[in-house]
Amino acid sequence: MSEPARRTSVPPLIVTQDNSFWFDGVREGRLLIQRCTGCGTLRQPPGPACPSCRSFGWDTLESSRRATLHSYTVVHRPQDSAFTYPLAIGLADLEEGIRLVADITGVDPADLVIGMPLEVAFTEHAHGEVLPQLRPREESA
């Protein structure tokens, strides 16, 4: 007997002193991007040093959360109880010029189109983890 797929939890989050600002941000509904104070390069995911100039100095920029779909995959198996299947996972181009990987909600995977406008939203999982999700964005003037 099989149970319907339910969102119960996500795999354990690895929070470190290098990425805790990012998790704090998503809990507040903000997508923060790490920016090198040496050369201005943006980086995602967060890391301790700039890949361009090796500086350890950084601050953050709050993303507009506007994005377009760069690529995606649809996962059917293996299934984890933390997710609903088929699970669409997108690689999105954020307006700021860097990319974000997140699951896609609010659209049938068969209707996904490369280049479609997306926005970053946030969803809270059963144990309080908050993570970004991509969803279709209505294009506004």
- Tell me the C-alpha distance between 46 and 1, whole Å: 42
Asked if 52 touches Zn ion (CB under 5 A), the answer is yes
Q: Taking the complex as a whole, how short is the minimal distance between the CB of residue 47 and Zn ion, in angstroms? A: 11
The answer to whether the beta carbons of residues 47 and 18 sit under 8 Å apart is yes
With CB under 5 A as the contact rule, the residue among 36, 102, 116, 118 that binds Zn ion is: 36
The answer to whether the beta carbons of residues 87 and 10 sit under 8 Å apart is no
Asked if 56 touches Zn ion (CB under 5 A), the answer is no
Distance in Å from the first CA to the final CA of the chain: 50
Asked if 33 touches Zn ion (CB under 5 A), the answer is no
Asked if 47 touches Zn ion (CB under 5 A), the answer is no
Using the contact rule CB under 5 A, the part of the chain among 35-43, 70-78, 86-94, 127-135 near Zn ion is 35-43
Asked if 15 touches Zn ion (CB under 5 A), the answer is no
| H-helix or E-strand spanning residue 25 | helix 20-27
